[in-house]
């Protein structure tokens, strides 16, 4: 009898959880910002949470709700969430792009597998955003990624962004690439200045 009672209790609990998730999904679409904000926080344990959050993120205009959505996506950190954040980098909304960058900085292990792809994206703006993500991405390959940018990228603004960061995080292994960068952009005063400054910081001069 005890086992039967336990199965009935578990069934009732499952039904309650399903009903709760349905309610949360509805609240995520509510006209009330406070309801959407709470729903964005509570939905993380519901099936299909990432998909729902990304759909709402694309339509959400209230900054406080958007922040909670991004926080929940960071908490979930699954491949769908990372892909959705990458798509935000292509948004016309500058605030959403910046918020996505900050969210991706919190996911070093999840973002690392796609970083090479981002740094080779056809859109130079996306490549710049990828370098911006590296600024606070706690990962062992950050310097090597930056070296590959200044060694191979043909866009001066992408390289300028990368060399600025190398001046902060670079080591002796970056010197050769920095020298090569100067040789590639001999007519770009800022590249010459930034590369020299990075090398001075690295060497301790």
- Reported pTM: 0.84
pLDDT given for residue 16 in this prediction: 43
Kindly state the percentage of the chain with pLDDT values over 70: 90
Check pLDDT > 70 for residue 18.
no
What is the pLDDT averaged over residues 96-105?
94
pLDDT given for residue 77 in this prediction: 95
User: How far does the chain reach from its first CA to its final CA, in angstroms?
Assistant: 80
Alpha-carbon distances, residue 193 vs 113, 115, 149, 179, 190 (angstroms): 32, 27, 17, 12, 5
Between 11 and 198, residue with greater pLDDT:
198
**φ, ψ for residue 122, nearest 5 deg:** -60, -25
DSSP string, 19-32: HHHHHHHHHHT-S-
Calpha distance 141→114 (Å, rounded) = 12
Residue 8 pLDDT grade (very low, low, confident, very high; cuts 50, 70, 90) = very low
């Amino acid at each position: 009898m005890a086992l039967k009672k336990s199965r009935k209790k578990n069934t009732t609990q499952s039904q309650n959880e399903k009903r709760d998730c349905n309610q949360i999904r509805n609240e995520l679409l509510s006209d009330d910002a406070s309801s959407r904000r709470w729903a964005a926080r509570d939905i993380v344990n519901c099936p299909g949470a990432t998909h729902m959050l990304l759909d709402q993120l694309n339509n959400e205009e209230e900054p406080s709700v958007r922040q909670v959505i991004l926080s929940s996506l960071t908490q979930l950190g699954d491949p769908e969430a990372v892909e959705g954040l990458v798509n935000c980098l292509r948004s016309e909304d500058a605030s959403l792009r910046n918020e996505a960058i900050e969210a991706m900085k919190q996911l070093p292990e999840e973002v690392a597998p796609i970083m090479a792809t981002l740094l080779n994206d056809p859109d130079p703006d996306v490549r710049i955003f990828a370098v911006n993500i590296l600024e606070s991405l706690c990962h062992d390959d950050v310097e090597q990624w930056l070296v590959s940018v200044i060694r191979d990228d043909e866009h001066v603004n992408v390289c300028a962004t990368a060399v600025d960061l190398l001046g902060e995080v670079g080591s002796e292994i970056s010197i050769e690439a920095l020298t090569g960068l100067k040789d590639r952009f001999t007519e770009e005063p800022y590249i010459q200045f930034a590369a020299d400054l990075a090398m001075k910081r690295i060497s301790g001069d």
